[in-house]
Amino acid sequence: MTHLAIDLGGTAVKVGVFDGRRLVDSGELPAADGRLVLEHVAVAAEGMLRGTRPDGVAIAVPGIVDPDARRLVAAHGKYAELHGVDLAAWSATRFGAQAVVENDARAALIGEMTGGSAHDVPDAVLIALGTGIGTAAALDGRLIRGAHGHAGVLSGHVTVDLDGPRCPCGNLGCGEALASTWALGEAVGHGTVAIGPELARRFGSAGELGIRDLVETRHEPESAAILERFVRIWGAVIVSQCHAFDPTVVVVTGGVLRSREVVLPAVVDYVHEHLWSSSFRPTFVTPEEPSLSVLRGLAVIALDSAPARDIHDAR
């Protein structure tokens, strides 16, 4: 059975074609604003499908999904124009099969709990560190959704600094507004954070920065200080997740994990030090291929051919 998976990421859009759960082809294209991205995705996907009609389609979006898993209800930034667009109907028109729509972090957690780094772990949380901070949680094998679809996915918008900047979400001092790739670019671009000459050269050359740039220039005191603060903020977000959901496993994924050897041990140390005294100290895992977590979860969702309300069902 052929399934199409579309991951509308903050920096890049990934498209995967699966035979069951086996990835047979994939591609990546730059993220674009609003509805324009759908046309780019359709062209890329149709080329990969080579005239084949998929048996199922699943789309991941970086925001809140409606209870019927058909559309994006709320997101900030470039995908705001997709609010209310019936993505299931769009998929039916372009590919001949209605899509199931899911939050990207939830899709990643499904992927890791069904054959990935958290396979057969019923109680897990996930944090995706990249353009933003995405989160998801599962208890007793069931994804946490809440009465209005917001539960578990907004831990990146927990306030970690009451005097911090206003986040596009409307909150103040969110983890994402302080320690994400977009937050780094904003801070450097507006001159609200000091940077050393090497990091300044990279920013001037590329016009953007990533966490890898911080890691590779951490010999500069300014980069080292920014990276240390980011680690503490990521750790604080995970502590909040652990206090809220009491997981056995924490899945850490996203683009930041390209520098896992530097970042992950420091995050683990922070979390274990700052958890409530009697709290269980969870195991930390990272996917073998962090960039494919969402696509693999989408393949499970598409194969299941219905919104994955329960991890056990998705298996």
pLDDT at residue 305 in the model: 63
Mean pLDDT by 10 residues, the chain (315 residues): 92 93 93 83 95 94 91 82 91 95 96 94 96 96 94 96 93 96 93 96 93 95 97 98 98 90 95 97 93 93 63 44
3-state secondary structure the chain: CEEEEEEECCCEEEEEEEECCEEEEEEEEECCCCCHHHHHHHHHHHHHHCCCCCCEEEEEECCEECCCCCCEEECCCCCHHHECCCHHHHHHHHHCCCEEEEEHHHHHHHHHHCCCCCCCCCCEEEEEECCCEEEEEEECCEECCCCCCCCCCCHHHCECCCCCCECCCCCECEHHHHCCHHHHHHHHHCCCCCCCHHHHHHHHHHCCCCHHHHHHCCCCHHHHHHHHHHHHHHHHHHHHHHHHHCCCEEEEECHHHHHHHHHHHHHHHHHHHHCCCCCCCCEEECCCCHHHHHHHHHHHHHHHCCCCCEHHHHC
pLDDT at residue 256 in the model: 87
pLDDT at residue 307 in the model: 40
pLDDT at residue 163 in the model: 95
pLDDT at residue 124 in the model: 98
